[in-house]
Structure 1
Amino acid sequence: MVLPEIVGRDAFAALIIRTDYADETAWQMIVAEVSQPSGAGGEYEARVHLVDDPVWAGSTPAAVRAAVRQDDQLSVVFVADRTTMQSAQHPLLALNISDEDKDLDPMYYQELIDSPPAQEFRTTPGAVHDVHANLSLANLDFDGFAEAALADSEGILRPL
């Protein structure tokens, strides 16, 4: 199945795609949380582009990545999958969209080829805006966020 192209997304909006439709209440809680202003005093408006279309139901991370790769303004996509919906903390799956490591020359980049960077991690809805903003501005890299998530006892990135 070919997934639809995401249209109308503001480049400053975090993209969140719902792939699990088992719990509407959980989804509404996630939407409410990612819609809250971010920053220490809530000084930043929440900008999100929500994809709530059953055509995405059951999509794998690889399928989601492939479907959104055309958006050259996008560095990360957040997925509300089964794990997200079933967990009390609703940790979204953050997927790295960058494919800059795709055609590395083994002569110069063998270490990177042997130990590829992280491609995904879990994040609470409250940390989505920090992740999206910092990756969009290239303030931090995806690996840094993935490492922070792995350092957590539950493997989840929490608000910075």
Structure 2
Amino acid sequence: MDRLPEGSGAVVIRTDFTDERAWDQLRTYMDSYAPEGLLVDVRTVDDPRNQGMTTGQLRSLVPDRAEYPYLAVADSGTFASHLAARDRTLLVVDLDEEGPGEVFRAVASSLAEIDANLSLANTDFGDYVEGVGHDGVYRGLEGM
């Protein structure tokens, strides 16, 4: 039962439906934000059937032909505070079947960098896990 897109590019899946306005702001930000030299094709999945899903459940929704190495999840942690869209955190989930299934939180403004580097295999998922700050959030290369 695939409910996520095939192909490549960043996929942001919503699992918390408590703040429609914050979701709209986040989606608008991700659609318009492109740091210098980076292009990212962000596809959002806004399906209420995904409410409260675990990372394991989300992994099971990924089609076999998907070429993206991770999922970004807009979960309850994403909407827990009243931050600007760029500063909201997403749960980033490793989709490598051979890996340990790691996760980390990242600010939305770092998604283009994460997508570019993981898609090109410039870095691996563990590099990002190790790069999270003292608050448990990855804030991009500038934040390291």
State the TM-score, normalized to the length of structure 2: 0.85
Deviations 1:23-55 (A, max 9, x none): 01111221122123323x3x4344111001111
Q: How far 1:77 sits from its partner (Å)?
A: 0.4
Separation (CA, whole Å) in 1 of partners of 2:65 and 2:131 = 26
Q: CA RMSD in A?
A: 1.9
Separation (CA, whole Å) in 1 of partners of 2:65 and 2:52 = 22
Check the 8 A contact 1:17/1:50 in 2, yes or no. yes
Deviations 1:91-135 (A, max 9, x none): 00000000124xxxxxxxxxxxxxxx5610000111111111111
Separation (CA, whole Å) in 2 of partners of 1:45 and 1:31 = 16
* Paired-residue identity, %: 31
Deviations 1:62-112 (A, max 9, x none): 1001211624412100000001111333200000000124xxxxxxxxxxx
Structure 1, unmatched stretches of 5+, are 102-116
Check the 8 A contact 2:92/2:105 in 1, yes or no. yes
Separation (CA, whole Å) in 1 of partners of 2:41 and 2:97 = 25
Superposed structure 1 runs of 4+ greater than 3 Å apart: 43-46
Q: Which has the higher helix share?
A: 1
Q: Counterparts in 2 of 1:1-160, with a 5 A limit? A: 4-7=2-5, 9-11=6-8, 13-39=9-35, 41=36, 43-68=37-62, 70-87=64-81, 88=83, 89-101=87-99, 117=100, 119-149=102-132, 152-160=133-141
SS at match of 1:93: strand
Structure 2, unmatched stretches of 5+, are none
Separation (CA, whole Å) in 2 of partners of 1:53 and 1:96 = 21
State the TM-score, normalized to the length of structure 1: 0.77
- The residue type paired with residue 15 of structure 1 is V
* Cross-structure match for 1:110: none
- Structure whose alpha-carbon radius of gyration is higher: 1
Separation (CA, whole Å) in 2 of partners of 1:146 and 1:118 = 11
SS at match of 1:59: coil
Separation (CA, whole Å) in 2 of partners of 1:120 and 1:69 = 20
